[in-house]
Amino acid sequence: MKNMNIVLVVFLAVITAVPASAQISLGVLGGLNIANLDMDEGDMGDAEFASRTVFGFGGILDYSISENIALRLEPMYLQKGADIVVDGFDDQFIVKLSYFEVPMMFKYSFSGDNINPYIMAGPSIGFLLEAKTVLDAAGGASEETDIKDETSSVDFSFGFGAGVNLPMGNNSIFVDARYVLGLTNIVDDPDAPDDDVKNNGIQIFAGITFPVGG
């Protein structure tokens, strides 16, 4: 409940700051997250993180503050995590994380005839839904462990990227790519106080928006 209160406070603050004349659009998006985890190499011994391609999907709340500037909220379900590779071992060890993620991206669009490119940047807050590790042994056995109690319930990050917007009548189709840098240590385990692990990812999304109201 406390985490949802944080989202509500941030959302209300954003709404209050947006001019009453701002144009509002709604939409949906979906795509891929090439997710990875970042940790000091010295802390992992012979192991290393490798990226895993997962997915995310959700909605869009778009505020056009001016002709070129917009604020976009993207509440979504987003998967994160990584594969762990150990030299000399054929077993596959996977860290699987899922979040309710709320990116808040400030977007600057460049005018074009048929295609409008844009750049964007902004913070994101994620609330942990599920955290587990999966060990897939080379012989075919699989073992799953819940690690939610040892994982931070909130994940802060910052993203930046670019995309293109294709107007279709009053609606718009877009494709964009962004790099998201984790700012929060996601390890919340008293038995590992020195571990510092952060989520990172390259995200590729596509979606559609349509104006609402006046």
Place of tokens 């609402």: 212
What do you get for the CA distance between the two ends of the chain, in Å?
Answer: 34
Share of the chain above pLDDT 90, in %: 60
**Can you read off the two tokens belonging to residue 191?**
């038995």
Contacts of 136 (CB under 8 A, 6+ apart): 91, 92, 93, 94, 142
Query: What is the residue-averaged pLDDT of the chain?
Result: 86
Quick check: 63 pLDDT over 50? yes
Backbone angles phi, psi at 76, to 5 degrees: -155, 160
Beta-sheet pairing, 171-182 with 154-168: antiparallel
Full-prediction pTM beyond 0.95?
no
In this prediction, residue 1 carries a pLDDT of: 47
**Res 7: pLDDT:** 52
Query: How does pLDDT run across 71-89, given as a tens digit for each residue?
Result: 999 999 999 999 988 776 7
The strand pair at 52-64 and 69-73 is best described as antiparallel
Mean pLDDT of 153-180: 95
Tokens of 24: 């509002």
**Cross-strand partners of 177:** 162, 204
Q: Which domains are delineated in the chain?
A: 28-212 (2.40.160.20)
Largest CA distance in the chain: 63
Q: What is the pLDDT of residue 19?
A: 55
Tell me the backbone φ, ψ of residue 148, rounded to 5 degrees.
-60, -35
Q: What is the pLDDT of residues 31-60, one digit of tens each?
A: 999 999 998 655 555 678 889 999 999 999
Using an 8 Å Cβ cutoff, are 92 and 136 in contact? yes
CA distance 61 to 130: 25
Q: 60: exposed, middle or buried (C-beta count within 10 Å: 0-12, 13-18, 19+)?
A: buried
